[in-house]
Amino acid sequence: MNVFTRGIRNAFRNGIRTLSIVAILGLSIGLSLTMLVANKAVGNKIATVKSSIGNTISIAPAGVQGFEGGGNPLTQASVDTLKSLAHVSSISESINDRLTSSGDSSNTNLVSSIDAGSLGQRFGREGGFGGGFGGGASGSTAGQAQTFTIPVTATGVSDTSQYAGSAVKLTSGSQIDGTADKPVALIGKDLATKNNLTVGSTFTAYGSAITVSGIFDTGTSFSNNAVIFSLPTLQRLSSQVGDITSATATVDSISNMDSVTAAVKSKLGSTADVTSSKDQAANAIAPLDSVKTISVFSLVGAVVAGAVIILLTMVMVVRERKREIGVTKAIGGSNLSIISQFMVEALTLTILGAVVGLVIGVIGGQPVTKLLVSNSTTSATTTATPGQRGSFGGGSGFGGGQSTGGGGITRRGGFGGALGRNSAVKGISNIKTQVGPGILLDGFGAAIFIALVGSALAAGMIAKVRPSEVMRAE
């Protein structure tokens, strides 16, 4: 028998009480751990989002997002002036157009690899595409649903290593030079399969024969239904020489992002929408930050609750055993040994509570984190369905009733911008929680902290018990 064994044994002196205290403590420690798990998971996610913040600034014609909105394209000349800005390390420019093999505006022999499906058909009907065509063709077909085919996206980029916000991975063939005007192109994997194209094959676009230089895979079926030209090639082929529908400025360091964004804005004025990747990330992180704050408050709350539980328990126990404490002092026990014994008792209870809490934390960590995150980020996330990205033909959609009539280039572009934005935000709610040995240590650390704080008041009371109390009758 010593201080330790006595303390441990005393923890089990009253079975029902021990059980209820361990259960309540287990809940509070479990909640603390759950919050710790959530906090760490969210913290990791924020770090990942922050570290993945590109040092890029997207520039799109004012009023354009995806294929929606209006406005006029930017001129290559005005975008080129950005190259001279301090801290801008490079500018990549792009132009967009669509290749379609059906209808009057047919300009290619490429067949889209994406079936319109019900979504596409609906976008087609609701948008100007079906309506405009139907109306234009003949009165009898007006209003009748017409089969809608998804066009193939054609993009001319000055930097052909990047497309739609991600790196272009070639599955075969070789890269093309984004600044040279040559009749070559990179085509998406799905498009190649659909049209039986391999490296070296040719296809027709805008009446010219184009040779496939390489085949790429971006991982999404929408992007894999695309053709990448060099910027001057597509500008010439689609009669948009001198126009830019989106540009991305790369800044030399994250710390210069704000100043460069401001400089770009003042340079381009109201003709362009300028968005820095930093702002996008900040928007994406905001709901995570609030989850993090909530988890910190809950964590502190749960630890404090645990400490209060053990504090009240120990105060109760000391009051109950006042006489026993007095006797122990009378027969030569020091304050130190008696207090240590009670601390061991408190520790035993909290460690048992921690074991229960650990089980709760391991089981509850992931679902609670998911719940917290999904509740606060639903407004900030989007789910991509293949073939639907970029609100194709939606609402005021493709053609808008006048686009084929030649109302200028009203809505080409904004692609890079829109997709880039999406990828910065996507997967925010896809958070992984981890319960490693760290959590175990934290749990027992919390238990020891709770036990020490909780028994501090009891220790004070023990020190005050006068041994002469035992002389008083019970």
Partner 1 sequence: MIEVKHLVKTFKSGDTNVDATNNISFKVPDGQFASIIGRSGSGKSTLLSLLGALDKPTSGSIVIGGQDLTKLSDHELITYRCKAIGFVFQGYNLVPNLTALENVMLPMEFAKVSRAERKTRASELLEQVGLKDDKQLRKPGRLSGGEQQRVAIARALANKPKLILADEPTGNLDSATGKMIFDLLHKLSRSENTTIIVVTHDLAIAGKTDATFKLDDGKLVSK
471 is an interface residue for partner 1 by CB under 8 A? yes
Residue number with CB closer to partner 1 (199 or 330): 330
319 is an interface residue for partner 1 by CB under 8 A? no
Q: Residue for token digits 């009253």?
A: 14
Residue number with CB closer to partner 1 (19 or 142): 19
1 is an interface residue for partner 1 by CB under 8 A? yes
322 is an interface residue for partner 1 by CB under 8 A? no
Site map (CB under 8 A) of partner 1, residues 410-449, x = contact: ----------------------------------------
Distances (CA, A) of 219 to 108, 175, 407: 24, 18, 35
Q: How far is the CB of 9 from partner 1 (least distance, A)?
A: 6
Q: Is 42 left (phi over 0), alpha (psi -120 to 50) or beta?
A: alpha
- Contact segment (CB under 8 A) with partner 1 among 251-259, 324-332, 384-392, 394-402 equals 324-332
470 is an interface residue for partner 1 by CB under 8 A? yes
177 is an interface residue for partner 1 by CB under 8 A? no
330 is an interface residue for partner 1 by CB under 8 A? yes
474 is an interface residue for partner 1 by CB under 8 A? yes
9 is an interface residue for partner 1 by CB under 8 A? yes
- Contact segment (CB under 8 A) with partner 1 among 21-29, 174-182, 319-327, 421-429 equals 319-327
Give the interface size with partner 1 as a residue count (CB under 8 A): 25
Residue number with CB closer to partner 1 (98 or 329): 329
- Contact segment (CB under 8 A) with partner 1 among 230-238, 253-261, 394-402, 460-468 equals 460-468
104 is an interface residue for partner 1 by CB under 8 A? no
334 is an interface residue for partner 1 by CB under 8 A? yes
Q: How far is the CB of 363 from partner 1 (least distance, A)?
A: 35
Residue number with CB closer to partner 1 (104 or 474): 474
Q: How far is the CB of 328 from partner 1 (least distance, A)?
A: 7
Query: In the set 83, 319, 323, 464, which binds partner 1 (CB under 8 A)?
Result: 323
**212, 195 Cβ separation under 8 angstroms:** no
Q: How far is the CB of 464 from partner 1 (least distance, A)?
A: 13
337 is an interface residue for partner 1 by CB under 8 A? yes
What are the residues binding partner 1 (CB under 8 A)?
1-2, 6, 9-10, 13, 323-324, 327-334, 337, 466-468, 470-474
